[in-house]
Structure 1
Amino acid sequence: MHQEAEATASAGARGPATYDLVIRRAHVFDGRQKLTGLYDVAVDGAEIASVSAEPLAGRQEIDAAGAWVMPGLIDTHVHFYDVRAVSDPDSMRAFEENELPGRLGLFLEHGATTIKSVGDPTGGILDTRAGIAEGTLRGPPLLATGCGITGRDGHPAATVFGDNPWARERFTGEVDSLQEIRDLVHHLADRRVDAIKLLSEGACAHSGGPGYLWRNPAFPDGVELERLPRELLRAGVEAGHERGLRVTVHTTQQVAARGAIEAGADGLEHGVTVEPLTDRSLIDLMLEHDITYTPTLWIDDAHPDARGNLQKVSRAGVHIALGSDTFSGRGLFGANTVEEAELMVAAGMTPTQVLAAGISGASRQCARPDLGTVARGKRADLLVLDADPTADIGNLRRLRMVILNGELAVDKRRAASSGSPR
């Protein structure tokens, strides 16, 4: 294969060298496909320096002994702050001091080496991002949209935060005019967010849009909302693009998905979940507009059509990105990311397709070409697994080591060798 020849050549081009770190004799899944044979993967600093079929020397060496090396997982849809516990400055401070560091560590413990927050309080999540980048917090690099932008009294402002006004002002940005949505997008861009998230449900009562009943197990009777008007969606997308930011839109129904795409969105968060995807022209529209579809089965698998809809768009060739919709109160941060991958396979995707969605597809969704590939010059965020994840997605749970920014961040060999009391 071309990539294998390129990998072999990368060592020869440099000649004999001693690298900072070499993972020796490993099978490699490079982010899109598995390579034939065994390779040495060399790291200098925070970057991959070589992927070679020939032996390499390192100041630190890890003998993989035929284990599997792959890029770290990227979870593109996370809600990090506890929406139930954060309701005033004191509870916010308590969460950040007592809960936040451990949750960041959980992602690494399960192999998620990049996470993307899509609707946390703007100030808090950007401070968290800075703390990770500066090294004062231990965790995977964090990408963030800041607050999610919704219509006046839209989701999640009037649903999740209906009885929590303090958090509502910080987790959500409610707009009901073209100027307001443009100003908010530019404000977030000025704060250097990594992307923009819009929510299609919810708008002012005079929008004239079709009625919408938001349903969730926590709200069995539903909450009546209206959709964000198309002109506001389009204005939000255009403002994001003016600032060079990708814009994704929360949707659950076909009509909302079509509206988001026609408004110029780059991706769909959730996609179509609450009804069967019957409109083939909508799938064609996704392909035509190069849309990324993030199925979030970890939260949406309760909907009977969510798996089948993912299967339809995946088989059609729509770009897929892994995103768990992890939030506080259910499951375990990081473990939910792995469960999402397993649910995507259960929905009909192959393990290789799901791995690509969680690595190269996710890096595309995040507009981060430095991530998601085992190749020279890419960031050295790597997993070492005891078994082939392309044969069984469950082998993501057989995690041996996590390399983050070129350094050993998680080493489960020590825990295994020390044993545990029976």
Structure 2
Amino acid sequence: MTHEPEVITRAEVRDPATYDLVIRRAHVFDGHTALAGLYDVAVSGGEIAAVSAEPLRGVTEVDAAEGWVMPGLIDTHVHFYDVLAVSDSESMQTFEDDELPGRLGLFLQHGITTIKSVGDPTEGILTTRAKIAAGTLRGPRLLATGCGITGRDGHPAATVFSGNPWARARFAAEIDSVQQMRDLVHSLADRKVDAIKLLSEGACAHSGSPAYVWHIPAFPEAVELVRLPLAFLRAGIETGHERGLRVTVHTTQQAAAREAIEAGADGLEHGVTVEPLTDDSLIDLMLEHDIIYTPTLWAHDASHPDARHNVKKVADAGVSVALGSDTFSGRGLFGANTLDEAELMVAAGMTPVQALVAGTSGAAGQCVRSDLGAVAPGKRADLIVLTADPTEDIGNLRRLGMTILNGEIVVDKR
């Protein structure tokens, strides 16, 4: 489908008009494409009110000086709580008091205005989400699945949390039956999670599928896993859909990706990383089912050399790609890791514009948030102002001048 930019002319602008905020004389990447020429972008009541080729007036006016305005970035795959340090109630409280606010601030400092947590302790992450929404805690818009759902002795329970039973019981939910799967998804839906995440290669105790050895450099132990039983997978997806929730599935192998799609998954977390994507019919299946592919190169590029080739292959085929870094504690810097992910996408062979789409409108689609990820009237005013062109050089995402969240300037580096 051809994208038609939502731009208004002087005749359509309220005149005289005074908006809450006007960003003047800016190039615009609108979440889909770069608009030709310079524009004023007006914000009122937390929403984008106008994108005009003619001058607009605002209570607050910001001269972009022919820089760039684009949607704030969305990172759809984040592990926010410190998986290496949280091991009891006391350390959890210390993290929430001492580390959590600064970690939220780092995302805003790097131009990330929405994050999606996909495997944090349910109670903690939903409390954090509520505090941000209420304005008692400052941070990016937070979406959350709550805990990830896996099989007994599956990933991440038997991998990341093998030596941390307290965190294991909170970050991962291990299920042994179809009924347990259904009950857990209903419970999470009752808590008003934003989506459901299942882990396919995540059931060590079950047999009947090819083994997969889980190992990433951040953790010393390798663990042999097999796939979640198909009946469990289907039950989780069906129940999530019954409750109106999008369900994405952690996969790394072609066979697991196919199984997840055929079971009704809406998206693949990681996709295919541990082997070359050689099955073209799998790509056709992704297209047929409108799958969104989240490659998480930041976490897997170094240890899985096929991951780059695979994401280029799916992107070139027209599969929707969403930016998700798989950021977790212990490596890099929250926020900066998201920018690394965008740069790795381009290093893999995607164009800068493809990577920008993945981090804005594509990511908004993965999160089922049509109000985000675009610069157009009626969208949420989550914006960043850059001093250089990101459509030519993805590294210019680091040239941040300003972050705007819900129409409020929350970072100003000018």
Indicate the TM-score class for this superposition, using the shorter chain for normalisation: over 0.9
SS at match of 1:188: helix
Q: Is the 8 A contact 1:11 1:51 kept in 2?
A: no
Question: What does the per-residue CA deviation read over 1:18-65, in whole Å, with 9 as the maximum and x for residues that have no partner?
Answer: 001100111000000000001000000100000000100101101111
* Matched residue, 1:378: 379
Aligned length, in residue pairs: 412
Deviation at 1:355, TM superposition (A): 0.1
Q: Which moved more, 1:290-299 or 1:219-228?
A: 219-228
Q: Structure 1 pair 412/218, CA: closer, same or farther in 2 (3 Å)? A: closer
SS at match of 2:222: strand
* Matched residue, 2:393: 392
Q: Is the 8 A contact 1:110 1:335 kept in 2?
A: yes
**Structure 1 residues 17-416: aligned runs within 5 Å:** 17-203=17-203, 205-218=205-218, 222-302=222-302, 303-413=304-414
Question: What does the per-residue CA deviation read over 1:83-126, in whole Å, with 9 as the maximum and x for residues that have no partner?
Answer: 11100000000000000000000000000000000000000000
The whole-number CA distance in structure 2 between the counterparts of 1:105 and 1:369 is: 24
Deviation at 1:402, TM superposition (A): 0.6
SS at match of 1:208: coil
Taking only aligned residues, the RMSD between alpha carbons, in angstroms, comes to: 1.4
Deviation at 1:8, TM superposition (A): 2.2
Q: Is the 8 A contact 2:342 2:355 kept in 1?
A: yes
Q: Structure 1 pair 2/299, CA: closer, same or farther in 2 (3 Å)? A: closer
The whole-number CA distance in structure 2 between the counterparts of 1:329 and 1:52 is: 44
Q: Structure 1 pair 10/166, CA: closer, same or farther in 2 (3 Å)? A: farther
SS at match of 1:378: coil
Deviation at 1:176, TM superposition (A): 1.4
- The one-letter amino acid paired with 1:319 is S
- The one-letter amino acid paired with 1:385 is L
SS at match of 1:324: coil
Q: Structure 1 pair 11/22, CA: closer, same or farther in 2 (3 Å)? A: farther
Q: Which moved more, 1:14-23 or 1:339-348?
A: 14-23
The whole-number CA distance in structure 2 between the counterparts of 1:398 and 1:220 is: 36
Q: Structure 1 pair 199/167, CA: closer, same or farther in 2 (3 Å)? A: same
SS at match of 1:142: strand
5+ long unaligned stretches in structure 1 = 414-422
The whole-number CA distance in structure 1 between the counterparts of 2:299 and 2:370 is: 28
- The TM-score with structure 2 as length reference comes to 0.97
Q: Structure 1 pair 232/272, CA: closer, same or farther in 2 (3 Å)? A: same
- The one-letter amino acid paired with 2:235 is A
Deviation at 1:204, TM superposition (A): 6.2
The whole-number CA distance in structure 2 between the counterparts of 1:138 and 1:10 is: 36
The whole-number CA distance in structure 2 between the counterparts of 1:354 and 1:11 is: 34
* Matched residue, 1:14: 14
Q: Is the 8 A contact 1:238 1:264 kept in 2?
A: yes
- The TM-score with structure 1 as length reference comes to 0.95
Q: Structure 1 pair 372/106, CA: closer, same or farther in 2 (3 Å)? A: same
Q: Structure 1 pair 102/206, CA: closer, same or farther in 2 (3 Å)? A: closer
Question: What does the per-residue CA deviation read over 1:293-351, in whole Å, with 9 as the maximum and x for residues that have no partner?
Answer: 00000011011101000110000000000000000110000000001000000000000
* Matched residue, 1:416: none
SS at match of 1:8: coil
Deviation at 1:189, TM superposition (A): 0.3
5+ long unaligned stretches in structure 2 = none
Q: Is the 8 A contact 1:11 1:52 kept in 2?
A: no
Deviation at 1:227, TM superposition (A): 1.0
The whole-number CA distance in structure 1 between the counterparts of 2:70 and 2:343 is: 17
The whole-number CA distance in structure 1 between the counterparts of 2:363 and 2:21 is: 26
Deviation at 1:13, TM superposition (A): 4.8
- The one-letter amino acid paired with 2:12 is G
The whole-number CA distance in structure 1 between the counterparts of 2:208 and 2:3 is: 55
The whole-number CA distance in structure 2 between the counterparts of 1:122 and 1:10 is: 48
Q: Is the 8 A contact 1:176 1:204 kept in 2?
A: no
Q: Is the 8 A contact 1:122 1:170 kept in 2?
A: yes
